[in-house]
Amino acid sequence: MKKSELLAHAKPHYNSDQLLEIDHAIDLATKAHANQKRASGEPYIIHPMIVADTLIAWGMDTDSILAGLLHDTVEDTNITLVEIENIFGRDVANLVDGVTKVGKARSGMRDLTSYSPQTKDNLSKLLIAIGQDIRVIMIKLADRLHNLSTLQYLPPDKQTKIARESLEVFGPMADRLGMGRVRMQIEELAFSYLDPKEFKRLKNLMKKRLGRSTRKLGKIYEEVEVAIKKHDIKFEIDGRVKSVYSLHKKLAKVQGSIDDIYDLIALRIIVDKKEDCYLVLSILHTLYKTMIGRIKDYIATPKPNGYQSLHTTVITTAEQIVEFQIRTHEMHEYAERGLAASFHYHDQKLSKNYIKGKKSATLPNSMQWITQLQEVAAKLKDNEEISKAQLNIDLFKNRIFVHSPKGDIYNLPEGALPLDFAYLVHSDIAKRAYSFRVNGKIHPFDKPLQNGDIVEVVTNKLSQPKQTWRSMVTTTHARNKLQGQLRKIGMAEMIANAASVIRRKK
């Protein structure tokens, strides 16, 4: 990539002052990396420029673009963070510092051929520590994507290490941010190196199956188009092909039979309004026979990462099974780019507090975990121990949505217990918890919550936290709040006991 190409891509999206800053950062990075080469033999500057170009395509703010261009300068050249701060400001310097810390974590990992939980834990801690600005992770994802695309130039042991790390850490992080397209790209590239034979086999299998399906779908496409046009709805139809890695995971669930996978290829219908989504759904159900168990309303109840869409699987008149996904343009944009879709160039929708995930900003329900990471980061800075199990729960497990009786939505990790919910609502409510009602019924403290549950905390003024609660919380947030409360109770009891002793002596 050339400087002129990058600036041409940036020009429609940034004002003249911002473009000058980007131009300056390109020149600084080019000079700093002047004598360096990539493993491919290309000039090193191509890498940060491609990272910056990816961030432009995602719709990121100017500071992210500048940090993308400069993200390797502090670690690999004579440029210092102080120099970057003096030229481009503190925010850009902090972003570069965050990405550098992730890089140092990887370079410090000794075992290149295996990927132990300890290694994963190490990287997780750093991701949490730099979670104060979520843009760091997004820059790192852009960096990782390009590194994966050039993995063929590295030795096999490093290929395996980077691919596994990408699949187990960066793929889930992209998913947490709702960045579906990025997650898929990371998974495909990583899987192709981790199991090349299986990747090639599944790719060929898909090619044969899709060849037959695509021809049959042409007629269905025409039937659906005619039916929707009768209702005067503005819409677009396109196709979505399942990724090879997604197929690999799905086959494991159906004992290896591709005949049991109905969403190998899906037709996606994109409309202007949410109401039109449901109207299109009724049109499809009028046209074709419905597979009742495969209707999913992710609009009314979004996936934990914020994904929204209607899914339905039908059986056509030709006995073909077809999946449809129906969503608005806004939902589609989010499904493709997740949180990055909020970083529009001109709209200025995000304040700096929002970008950094601070409590004073209003994050989408699906991004509440960003705020929770701030508390973990603070604990790490104070050298408090965070267990591997807690990190796995907070970062790498699936998420669920639960509701308060008033209808407020709370995002928790799968396997979370009622006290986790109570502490997420408010620590003062949690410490007075006497019992829980879930969906109107009494619910044990040690029974996990399920996606969609309506959870009510029954409080009692005389109730207070107990030591036994330690085994009844799973999230770092709840554990930290509980420990603080137990410490206060312990100190109060100690003071009361001391006072009692003094009174007896008198």
- 380, 132 contact by CB (below 8 A): no
Comparing C-alpha atoms, which of 355, 343, 338, 346 is closest to residue 13? 346
Question: Which amino acid is located at 350 in the chain?
Answer: L
Catalytic residue among 76, 188, 198, 297: 76
Q: 183: helix, coil or strand?
A: helix
Distance CA 134, CA 131 (A): 5
C-alpha dihedral sign at 473, 385, 128, 356: positive
d(CA 334, CA 319) in angstroms, rounded, equals 33
Q: Which two tokens stand for residue 37?
A: 């080469």
347: annotated active-site residue = no
How many other C-beta atoms can be found within 10 angstroms of the C-beta atom of residue 304? 23
Catalytic residue, chosen from 17, 63, 72, 75, is 75
**Token pair of 25 as six digits:** 């950062």
With b meaning 16 or more CB within 10 Å and e meaning fewer, what string describes 175-200? bbbbbbebbbbbbbbbbbbbeeeebe
Nearest to 266, CA basis, from 205, 208, 327, 318: 327
Residue with tokens 């699936």: 398
Residue 75 a catalytic site member: yes
d(CA 479, CA 484) in angstroms, rounded, equals 9
**Would you call 233 helix, strand, or coil by DSSP?**
coil
**Among 138, 147, 51, which Cα is nearest to 95's?**
138
The residues carrying an active-site annotation are 75-76
